[in-house]
Each structure stands twice: as C-alpha cells, then as structure tokens.
Chain A
Amino acid sequence: MISLRTDLPWSGDSASRFIPWLVAIMVFLGTLAVSGVAVFDTILSGWSKAVTGTVTVQIPALPADSEQEANQARTDRAVKALKDLPSVEGVRVLANTEIDALLAPWLGERAAASDLPLPDLIDVTLVDGSTATIEALRSAVTTVVHDAIIDDHRLWFEHLIDLTEGFRLLTIGVALIVTTALALTIVYATRASLAEFKEVISVLHLTGARDAYVATQFAKRTLSAAFKGSAGGLVAGAFALFAIGLLARNVESGFLPDIGLSLGFWVLPPLVSLFAATLATVTAFITVLSTLRSMV
C-alpha cells in the first residue's frame, strides 16, 4: 500500500490547493467531449443501418386533368421494373392511408383523398446499398417512368457524416487543449510549490535524499489531489450526461437511435478521469526531477 506520509508542508502550500478543482473541470469537459463523440458515432451508425439498403422512388402525379388510371399505370410499370432487378429484395407501394399519416401534420386528415396531385411512393429494399445498385435501379425506373425521382437518402446522410466528422475533430481539438492546459498548469503549480518548499527540500537533500524521493512525494500528493478532482469531475459529468439523456428521450423517439446502451458511453468517461489523474501525477514527477536537476 502506498504511504501518504510526507516530509513536505503541504498544508501551507497555496499553489497545489486548486489542483483538485482544475482536474475536476478538465475531467468534466473531457467527459462531455468524449461522450459527445461516442453518442454521435452511435446515432450515425443507427441512421446508417436504417438508411443504407433502402431507396424511396417517387412517381409524380400527372396533371390534375389526367386519368387516374394513367397514374396507376405509371406506378405499376415502375414496380414491375423494380421487381425485375436482381438487387431488389422487396418493393412496397405506400397505401393512401400511410401517405395521409405522413402528410397529416401539414395538410390535415385525409389529404390523399382530396384532389391534390400527390405522388405515389414506393419503398424499395435492396440486397446491398452500393452506388452501382442504385445507378442500375435509377436507369431501370427512369426508362419506364421518365420523371420518376429516386431518393437514396445519400445526400443528406453525407452532410450528417460531415457534421459528425466536424464534431469529432472539434472534440479532438478540445481534448488536446484540455490535456495541454492540465499539464501546463501542473508544471506551473509544481514549480511554485518547489519554490515555496526550497528550504525544506534543501534539508532533505543535505540529509541524503535523492531527487526521486522528493519527486515521489510530489507525485503522491498530486495523485491524491487529482484523484479527488477526477472523481468529482466524473460525477458531475455523469449527472450532465444523465440530464442530456433525459432531454434526448423527449425528442421524437424514431429520430434518435437508442444511445444509452453504447459501450463507449460508459467506458470512456472513467478512462478520461484515469488519464487525467495519471497525466497530472507523471507531469508533477517529471517537473520535480527536471527542476531539481538545475539546483545545487
């Protein structure tokens, strides 16, 4: 077991007093940043699973004065062409009631039954979602219905990926800044304490203490301070995440995949606090060694 007995007068040391607070804030920020990336990854892969492999084909309605049968014939031609493709697993034409449901928030009940020229929607499930498959599908459908619109959800999904990548880079940037700030502050605080303990350290040296003996006392002290701080930061971060989780639950449930169970979400914050405590301790140890080396 590590003895926390010390020969240095920490109770009178002002420089090391804020280390727990500092580490707590750093761990809190780090926890939020890292969890943010984990959540975005989870959301993205959830959407990705839901989106790739499906395509929506729109058959625009002919002008209002056209025959209802002409519209039906166009949809039938498209469905047949789709079913003939080997890469298509399933084809389903959305019923009028389903279109009603989709439009209800904007147009009120029974919009499809009105005279509005609504397109027919065909849900297509694909064997694979490759570009080649979608291009083949596009040409097959437009051959039979020249103005059909094929929506493979790719465009808006790519924007989302860009957004998530942006967030990831931002998080890495934040993590680097937080790490550097923590290390620099520990260096500063350690040097200030060394200056304050100059006389005591000189007596330790004269009684035969090695630099590592002094550095170990600093490391132990910093470890215990950083441990308190990182525990506090972790708890605060967990509360914040829990609150965000509650807010997210209120969002339209189909839009956000279930994020609560992802592994990274629960493993990363403790790793962040472990990392912060280790970083602080090692930084203090090295700072003491390098500073003492320049003393007599």
Chain B
Amino acid sequence: MQIFKPPETPDGTAAVELKNVSLRYDDGSDVLSALNLALPPGSFHFLTGPSGAGKTSLLKLLYLAQRPTMGSVHLFGTDVTAAARRSLPAIRRKLGVVFQDFRLLQHLSVFDNVALPLRVAAAPEPEIKSNVTELLSWVGLDNFMNAKPAVLSGGQKQRVAIARAVVNRPRLILADEPTGSVDDAIAMRLMQLFIELNKLGSNIIIATHNEQLVARFEYSRLALADSALTELPPLSYRSAAESDQAINEPQT
C-alpha cells in the first residue's frame, strides 16, 4: 500500500482529500482500504484500474452517494463524512457527476435533463435557457433539445449526461467512463470540454480503462488496484500538435 504525499497547494487546502478511507461492503469484502489522497485545486486526473477495482465506489464516496466505512472525505476543506444531511445539497452543487449508466430522467426532455442542476439551485429561467442551449449546441445536440432520452443513441445519451454534469460550472467534475459510448472524434471533443472547464479552475477526475484515451493527454493517473490507490505519472502521451489535431478532427 502506497501513501503518497499531498501536493503542495498555495493555501494549504486540498480540493479533494481522502484520509485513511476504507470501504467495506455489507458482505464483508473490502473494496477500498486506507486510501490517502490530496488533490490541489485545479488538478486533472485519470482514475484507472481494472474492472471491479473500485473506481465507481471511489467516485461514489466523492459524490456523496456513499459514506466510507472508515476514514474521512474532505471536499474544498469540508469534512463531508461528518457533514449534516441538510448541508449536503450545497456541497453537491459544487460537484458535476457523469454516471456510467448516465442516469438520465427518461420522462424529461434533453433540455430539462441538462437544466436539472440549475433548476434545483433555483437559477432564473432565462439564464437556464441560455446556458443549456449553448451547452447542448457545444456537445452537438442542439437538434435534440426536446427529444426524450429513449430515442437517443448511447453516445448521445452520454453527451447529455456530460452536459448535465458541467452545466452549473462545478468545482469538481467526476466522470465515470464518460467516453465509453462515443467514437474517437466525439471523445476528443468531450475531453476538450473537460479541459476547458479545468482551465477555468474545476478539478477533474475521469475514471476510465481506455488506455488509448489516457495516453493522449499529459495528465497524471490515479491507479486503483487491490483496494489501494497509487499516483502514476502520465502515460506516454502524444505531442501537443498531435493532440490538437485529434481534437480538431471533424465529427463523424
């Protein structure tokens, strides 16, 4: 088990911090054991590891869908493990989550699905309309605003899920296999969206086992294996020119 040093941050506060976090399922099996991690504000990481290594479980701890069996999770300096239930919505509004199974609301239109985080935060409708419209056109779904998720392809659903996750400019974006259902060109375009949000200051954690995708970017990896977490340097990556070329490839 490797414990790695928290990166230095200007004000000493990590955006994401795990202290001795363990997660054990009801059947007694350990999924995560004694994880320690500290990510500075504005970091970008791939979360890698074989299927069943606990990537989704770790993300669940971070988006407050699950509490750790032991240890504590800190987001933006708040111990969310100890947070009262009534303070959770405020913390969750700083998060954007792309679920592996999308979790789109089937009875709502694409527009209303993406508008959800803004509506629950009581944003004014004109602001919702302009933000959602702009974002949907960025992900190439401006012709599907009134469609129900059921008529969309897997890749289209994925883009709706990503749009919903980022629409409220979250401080931490957690994406579980966000490019699993789209072709390469769209994957690069979606990655570009995450990169732009990262430049604006959001922390990004992308869980994936798509090594090709990871290899294209110069971002560190958090490798999860045998219920332990290891920070690894970027996989061999393409040159910036090659990356740019991939990003600018026309959509198919």
Contacts and interface: CB of A to CB of B under 8 A. Distances in A.
Nearest to B93: A208
Given A7-B119, A213-B120, A296-B65, A206 B107 contact: no
Contacts of B117: 207-208
B112 interface: yes
Contacts of B182: none
Contact of B120 (A200, A208, A293): A208
B92 A206 contact: yes
B85 A293 contact: yes
A7 B108 contact: yes
A4 interface: no
Contacts of A83: none
A292 to B, nearest CB: 9
A207 B107 CA distance: 17
B120 A11 contact: no
A7 B120 CA distance: 10
B70 interface: no
A8 B89 CA distance: 18
Contacts of A9: 105-107
Interface residues of B, number: 27
A210 interface: yes
A203 B120 contact: no
Contact of B97 (A11, A206, A213): A206
Interface in A99-116: none
Interface residues of A, number: 18
Secondary structure class of chain A's binding surface, majority of residues: helix
A205 interface: yes
A206 B90 CA distance: 11
A208 B121 contact: yes
B116 interface: yes
Nearest to A213: B120
A12 interface: yes
Contact of A203 (B93, B105, B119): B105
B164 interface: yes
A68 B65 CA distance: 105
B19 interface: no
Interface in B67-94: 67, 85-86, 88-90, 92-93
A227 B85 CA distance: 33
A207 B92 contact: yes
A203 B103 contact: yes
B63 interface: yes
- Max chain B C-beta neighbours (<10 A), residue from A202, A203, A208, A210: A208
Given A204-B120, A208-B89, A209-B120, A7 B63 contact: no
Nearest to B168: A208
B146 to A, nearest CB: 15
Contacts of A202: 65
11 contacts: A7-B108, A9-B105, A199-B103, A203-B116, A206-B63, A207-B117, A208-B90, A208-B92, A209-B120, A210-B86, A293-B85
Given A200-B105, A296-B65, 17 more contacts: A7-B112, A9-B105, A9-B107, A204-B120, A205-B92, A206-B63, A206-B64, A206-B103, A207-B116, A207-B117, A207-B120, A208-B89, A208-B117, A208-B121, A209-B89, A209-B120, A210-B86
For the complex of A and B, 3 pairs with smallest distance between CB atoms:
A208-B93, A209-B120, A9-B107
Interface of B: 63-67, 85-86, 88-90, 92-93, 95, 97, 103, 105-108, 112, 116-117, 119-121, 164, 168
Interface of A: 7, 9, 11-12, 199-200, 202-210, 213, 293, 296
